[in-house]
Structure formats: C-alpha cells, structure tokens
Amino acid sequence: MLDALIAIFEALPYLLKGALVTSGIVVGAMGLGLVMGIHMAVGQVYGNRAVRWFVGLYVWFFRGVPVLVLLFLFYFGLFALIGLNLSAFAASTLVLGMTTAAYQSQIFRGAILSLPKGQLQAARALGMSDIKAIISIILPQALRFSIPGWSNEYSIILKDSALAFVLGTSEIMARSHFVASRTYHYLPLYITAGCLYFLLTWLGVRALLKLEAKVRIPGYSQ
C-alpha cells in the first residue's frame, strides 16, 4: 500500500504533464468545434439547400462513426493519403475537433431555432442585412443559451481525449498506463487518472457556470 502511494507520488509530475497534454487536446478540439459549429449551425438554419445538405452529411458522418474508428481512419488513412504529416497530438485534436463540431453545431442550431422569429424580423425591418442581424442579434442570444449544452459537450470531449492514447499521444491515460506497466500498481494509478479527469471536468464546468452567470440577460426568468 505504501509503495503504491510512493509510486504515485513519484509519478505525479509526469502525470500532471499528461494533464497538460489532455487540456491542450480539449482546448484545441473545443475551440475548433466552436468555430466550425457556429458556421455550420448558421448555414443549416439560414443557408441554401446545398449548404444544408452538406452540413447534414457532415453531422451524419461524424455522429455515426465512433471516435476511435475516426482516429485510426484519419491518422493512418486519410491524412497519410493527402500527405498531411501531423503529430499524434495534432491529429487527435483535429479529429476530436471535427467530431465535436458536428455535435456543437446541433447545440447551436437548437438554440438559434428556439429564439422567437420576431428577433430576426425586427432586425431586418431596421434595414440590417441578414449577416449583420445574425452576428449582432441572433448569435449573442443563441450562444448564451447554448452554454449548458456546450458545457456538457466539454465534459464528453474531455473523456474522449483519453482515446488519443491509441495514436500514441502522451496524455493522462497513456502516462498512467506506462507507470503502471513499470510498477504494476494498476488500481492506484487508474484511480489517480480518474481523479485528474474529474478535476479537469470540475474546473471546466465551474468556469462555464461562472460565464453563464456573467452573461445572463437581466430579468430573464431561470
């Protein structure tokens, strides 16, 4: 028991660096998903038939294929095919980013559709172009309402980041595994890994709750 604790204590700096890598993957993936997701959501709600078809196809594909399969498919297959030489970290972040974009686009789309139609009508009546109206009137409201769903997606991607292990990314899971292979203290190490993931989830969700409170529209009922 004691040597298990000693092993964990000695491995902690190494594992914490893994937490940094995990955070990098999550920040990168969520960021990419945010940018892509907003564009796809706007395209799906306001775009022409071609745009809607394309976004629909994209969402269908990335929601339909397991992340694990996508990681292998892109890293060993597609990226090599088009000559894109990415590190395991970059590839994992990119694939996770493209996946979460699909889910995030539906979160944003739902939020946009939940807004009263009159918001856009009033903006148009004042002479705003659709783009201006979407950026100044629709998105500020829709994004506020998307925070709970987005927070949920964040916690999912954080857990999915453990899959980056299979491409050889040196994140929390991989590092826990390496230390365990050397020391054979599997249970204590997996508990430590679990705690690290929990900590990252908790920190992120709390930050998002703070954000939600900060941007809440005054007077709106809970």
| Binding site residues, other proteins, CB under 8 A | 10-11, 13-14, 17, 28, 31-32, 35, 72, 76, 80, 85-90, 93-94, 116, 118-119, 121-129, 132, 136-137, 140-141, 144, 165-168, 170, 174-175, 177-184, 186, 217-221
Give one DSSP letter per residue of the chain, joined into a string. -HHHHHHHHHHHHHHHHHHHHHHHHHHHHHHHHHHHHHHHHHHHHHS-HHHHHHHHHHHHHHHHS-HHHHHHIIIIIIHHHTT----HHHHHHHHHHHHHHHHHHHHHHHHHHHS-HHHHHHHHHTT--HHHHIIIIIHHHHHHHHHHHHHHHHHHHHHHGGGGGGGT--SHHHHHHHHHHHH--HHHHHHHHHHHHHHHHHHHHHHHHHHHHHHPPTT---
Q: Name the minimum Å distance from CB 163 to other proteins.
A: 11
